[in-house]
Structure 1
Amino acid sequence: MKGVHRVLHGAAALCLSVALVGCDMAPRYKPAQFAFPPDWKGQGVIRYGHPDDAAPRADWWKDFHDPQLDALEDKALASNPDLQATAESFTQARDVAAQIAAHLYPQINGQAGGEKYKSSAHRLWRGAGSTGPMYMSSEQYQAAATWEPDFWDAIRNRTRMAKQSAQQSAAEYAVARLSLESEVARDYIALRGFDEQDAVYRDSIRYYELAVHITQMRLAGAISAGIDVSRAEAQLEATRAKETQILASRDVMEHALAALTNTAPAAFHIAPRQAFGMADVQPAAGLPSTLLERRPDIAASERAMAQANRAIGVSRAAFYPHVTFNAATGFMDNGFDLASLYNSLYQFGAQAALPLFQAGIRRAELQRSWSQYREAEDHYRSTVLSAFQEVEDGLTNVNRLRTASAQEKAAVDAALRTQTMTMELYTGGLTNYLDVVVAQEAALTARIAYVQVVTQQKQSVVELVTALGGGWSQTQLPREKDIRPFKPLQYEGLRHPKPVGGIDTTPHPSDVDLTRMPAPSLSSTTTPAVSGNVLTR
């Protein structure tokens, strides 16, 4: 009868344990829902439509139709060391999640050992003629197990926090990837802008060399004064100095692209060309709500808020008893008859600890957890606001700079006509050379300003695409069940985990080769030509 009672008591205790395990102390998580304005202030680009309308694609830079840019982006994504380091951070976050999840299961350890002892023949209490043993041997092996039943979901909430932290790391990897793509595109556009400025300067230098020749001829014929020659030469040398500065800036930008593509600057060179040779891209945006699903930084901020919510559950669980079960069994003998039941040993027990008085430690921790959650919620709201601001800024810059480039082009045309007419008047002796210098300076300034505006306009397209998420989607985040980096019984292939969320830490063959620059694809790109004093497109 006593045996039946023991069985019933054990079954009742087991049922109680099962019932208690799974008492989630974390509050119900519900991300903040924001009210959006009825419309946006974008200049007719943002519109309400299907969520997939006009969403940038993952390889958005290919819309520029520039093979060299395509090659640079591919090389940077494959071998950039900073991006790969971010991928390793994600792997480490996955391993941390696996470590914490392991505490949900019993921890079992095995032990085996053997000892042999000899005592002194003259030890205390050993009388003369004693026949007591002087030697003793002991061989034993045993197994021990400990288990902490997760009655209050403290371990589960820590596990969920760790998995959400890994998801946050995956989103941060997407932020780093998008930032790298954007930086490569902006730097490449800046380099092509320097190329076009250099073409303007070289064209102006040829024109100024002709002007110097004309003034020298007029001086030789006693038609004009020597000051005209000095002004023409000063203008020529000043323009040559400006071209040298542009070439220096181009070299620095080329070095930056080399570093981004994992190439030593000494082994990296992009051939110059006279104009951008890039397609005019005008991205569009859809519903404001879809922006929250496209931005990896918003996803990272939301995952941080989810972790803070789980931390509240961990703090609440500290108010309840902390229970641990342990058991050990094995065999011990002074020989090798270890499997005998007579030589067996075991122990088992349970421990429950409940802090009775800690002067407010647990209450302070709980209050801090609630404050951290509200802080994470505030950061999330700030990230969303910054995202909308960046989109609005991008829309404004794309549209305004497109208008400004057209205006600058008109200014260039007018300045070049003035330059031509002034030189003709000077050659005919109808004006002085100072008017020629003023016209030439105005023409050069207008042409450089035009190139700079076009450069900024193309870079603003990159910034807008980046603000829209660059083709990323929240669906690319790895699921919590896929975070674990290895299978339960996997002991091989642990050097590199199986990729999830498109994040692979397997080294690329070109990682250690710093002497190979990316080669552009074989598709051709039409390069605008320079005709006379006007850059034709």
Structure 2
Amino acid sequence: MTHGMMARKTYRYSVLVGLSFATMLSGCDMAPKYQPVPLKVPESWGNTGVLKQASPADDVIRSDWWTMLGDPLLNQLEEQAMRLNPDLQAQAEAFMQSRDVAMEAKSHLYPQLNGAASGDKNKGSRHRLWRGGGSQGPVYMSSEQYSATASWEPDFWSAIRNRVRMTKQRSQEAAAEYALGRLSLQAELASDYVLLRGFDAQSAVYRDSIRYYQTAVQVTKMRLAGAIAPGMDVSRAEAQLYATQAQETDIQTQREVVEHAIAVLVNQAPSSFHIAPTTRLSFAPTMPPIALPATLLERRPDIAAAERRMAQANRAIGVSRAAFYPHVTFNAMTGFMDNGFDLASLSNSMYQFGVQALMPLFQGGLRRAELQRNWSQYRQEEDLYRSTVLSAFQEVQDNLTRTTRLKTEAAQQSNAVDAALRTQTMTMALYTGGLTNYLDVVVAQVAALQARIALVQVQTRAIDARVQLVRALGGGWSRTDLPKSDQIMPFSPLQYGNLRHAGPVAGVTTQTDPASADLVGQQKTSQPLDTRSQRR
């Protein structure tokens, strides 16, 4: 065996050992073992009054939870908002962008290959310095070459892998934020719709009172004409009538503002959107199932997002730890170069390969400061996670209290309305018979109107409390709806087509509905919405 053959064999053996060593080291994960903060939570929600706490088998809220209110128009509006709301579509794009960031991070695990080609032609001066008068040296020179380069960073300390895991967890966080935005949109639309119907019911009460007060004005004018009542009674009756008309106008103003908000939520211009009014609240009394407290951690998108941020902070510790160890990069280049076009000859070939290792020796505490900061950020995310959980429990408990108490308050206020209406009727009868003055009538009328308006307001708040309770319980969302880690990447490393839209994951898509460009509501709907443009 010649010396050259032995050298080549030794070189191949060294490369094989080096690659084996690199593969072995690439499994070193410097991140601490991650375990979410174990929180001890209550076993029940305590005193929930008339509410029945569901068992684990039947505590799932439907994803279309708003249908429990039994309003077809609300169902239509919710469906339209889920398809067309621009803020929700923007959040879907943010989720898709986070997937691309994860793909960018993963690309560093693969060798980076590049190709290059170049050509140039140069001419020198015949009378340049140091060129003799009889020199026959060339004044023209050309060069053509093409080459390929490759570089690869073996992930000895899992720094790249931890960055990839961080970006995947950030993508899962973005998916949770999308779910939170969708739930917030659903709840906001339902709350606005309930509030609008509450204004409708109040307006109906005011109109009914206005008709009653108009009759009272006529009665006082007839008594004044018969000289059996003073003119003050007419003034008091008219003042009561006009004040109530002003209050009804104010309610209409508030209703229109809420209607405008609903229009924007469903992707329509307010000027071309109108919901026909009703005269009373007619929502179904169905109550959502109340899940056990322990399941809330799996049902709230904001809690899931906080947990994913905590997981990212844990991986950041591994990245900062890896910075203390050597940073190794392999580079190689090969190609051909010639002063003509005879490039395919081995004599014109060229190559270069090498390895570089960078080891931090002294940086004035830079790496230690970064590591300590990442540990602090991880503990900060733990604290914020616990704070998010506590806020979630408070929201559920608050709305459980509201739902229970407002039901009782509505029954009590209904009794007050009955008593106030009886008083109003009796007082007016006494006045007509000349047995009392009109001031007593005004007092009774004011009490009756206030009682009826208060009843509608309590009923509206009770319905909205159910909506907010569903929102606090997660609105039918589950942590299992988050995309799995192996579903995050938007395409494969060798995919070069269909890159405008990534495939949908976990129900999140960026395919735009053509109707989203229609802001005047001309698309067909299952139940017509009266529009102002149509009315004109």
Q: TM-score range by the shorter chain?
A: over 0.9
Q: How many Å apart are 1:131 and its aligned residue? A: 1.6
Residue matched to 1:248: 253
Paired residue for 2:265, among 250, 253, 260? 260
Instruction: Tell me which of 361, 380, 385 is aligned to 1:380.
Output: 385
Corresponding residue for 1:332?
337
Q: Does 1:270 align with 2:288?
A: no
Distance 2:105 2:412 in 1: 62
Between 447-456 and 79-88, report the one with greater CA deviation. 79-88
Counterpart in 1 of 2:494? Answer: 489
Name the CA shift for 1:82/1:522 in 2 (closer, same or farther; >3 Å).
closer
Change in 2 beyond 3 A, CA 1:159/1:19: same
Q: Match for residue 510 of structure 2?
A: 505
Pick aligned residue for 1:228 from 224, 228, 233: 233
Residue 408 of structure 2 aligns to which amino acid in structure 1?
T
Residue 427 (structure 1) aligned to one of 421, 425, 432: 432
> Paired residue for 2:13, among 4, 8, 32?
8
**1:473 maps onto 2:486 in alignment:** no
RMSD between aligned residues: 1.4
Instruction: State yes or no: 1:49 paired with 2:55.
Output: yes
Deviation sequence 1:37-64 (CA, Å, 0-9, x none)? 24322414363622x4232110000111
Q: Residue by residue, what CA displacement relative to the aligned partner does 1:338-376 show, whole Å, maximum 9, x if unpaired? A: 111100000010000111011111111111111100000
Deviates more, 1:160-169 or 1:514-523: 514-523
The equivalent of 2:172 in structure 1 is: 167
Contact 1:305-1:380 within 8 A present in 2 as well:
yes
Distance between the aligned counterparts of 1:517 and 1:57, measured in 2? 30
Structure 1 residues 186 and 496: alpha-carbon distance in aligned structure 2, compared to 1, 3 A threshold? same
Aligned equivalent of 1:416: 421
Assess if the C-alpha contact under 8 Å between 2:417 and 2:451 holds in 1: yes
Query: Which residue among 304, 315, 319 is the counterpart of 1:299?
Result: 304
Please list, as runs of the form range in 1=range in 2, the aligned pairs for 1:291-370 lying within 5 A after superposition: 291-370=296-375
CA contact (8 A) 1:42 1:392 kept: no
Partners of 1:246 and 1:520 in 2: how far apart? 28
Q: Distance in 1 between matches of 2:238 and 2:12?
A: 108
How far the C-alpha of 1:88 sits from its partner, in A, is 1.1
Q: 2:406 is matched with which residue?
A: 401
CA 1:502 to 1:38, structure 2 compared with 1: closer, same or farther past 3 Å? closer
- The residue that corresponds to 2:3 in the other structure is none
Letter in 2 for 1:337: D
Matches within 5 A, 1:137-216: 137-216=142-221
CA distance in 1, matches of 2:314, 2:522: 47
Q: How many residues align?
A: 522
The SS at the match of 1:140 is strand
The answer for the alignment partner of 1:531 in structure 2 is: none
Q: Give the C-alpha shift of residue 2 in structure 1.
A: 3.3
1:391 partner letter: V
Equivalent residue for 1:32? Answer: 37
**How far off is 1:522 after superposition?**
5.1
Alpha carbons 1:264, 1:514 under 8 Å: kept = yes
Does the CA contact (< 8 Å) of 2:54 and 2:289 recur in 1? no
CA-to-aligned-CA distance 1:88-131 (integer Å, 9 cap, x gap): 11111111111111011111110001111111111222212222
1: distance between equivalents of 2:384 and 2:176?
A: 16
Hey, what's the Cα distance between the residues in 1 that align with 2:146 and 2:43? 74
* Residue aligned with 1:511, SS: helix
**Alpha-carbon shift at residue 408 of structure 1 (Å):** 0.8
Secondary structure of the structure 2 residue equivalent to 1:350: strand
Residue type of the partner of 1:492? G
TM-score (norm 2): 0.95
Residues 68 and 519 of structure 1 are in contact (CA less than 8 Å); yes or no, is this contact kept in structure 2? no
Cα 1:199–1:42 shift into 2, 3 Å: same
Question: CA, structure 1 residues 518+187, in 2 after alignment: closer, same or farther (shift >3 Å)?
Answer: farther
Name the counterpart of 2:532.
none
Offset of residue 456 of structure 1: 0.3
1:114-152 superposed Cα distances (whole Å, 9 cap, x missing partner): 111111111222212222111111110000011111100
> Percent identity over the alignment?
63
Q: CA deviation at 1:429?
A: 1.0
User: More deviation in 287-296 or 302-311?
Assistant: 287-296
* TM-score, normalised with respect to structure 1: 0.95
**Residues 111, 141 of structure 1: 8 Å contact kept:** yes
**Deviation readout 1:369-417 (Å, 9 max, x if unpaired):** 1110000011111111111111101111111101111111111111101
Q: Which runs of 5+ in 1 are unaligned?
A: 524-537
Moved more, 30-39 or 354-363: 30-39
**Residue 124 of structure 1, aligned match among 126, 129, 136:** 129
Q: 5+ residue gaps in structure 2?
A: 1-5, 529-536
Residue type of the alignment partner of 1:368? R
Out of 132, 141, 152, the residue aligned to residue 136 of structure 1 is: 141
Query: Residues 38 and 493 (structure 1 numbering): CA distance in 2 closer, same or farther, change over 3 Å?
Result: closer
C-alpha separation between the residues in 1 aligned to 2:521 and 2:113? 52
Aligned to 1:457: 462
Q: Indicate if the aligned counterparts of 1:268 and 1:517 stay in contact, CA closer than 8 A.
A: no
| Match in the other structure for 2:533 | none
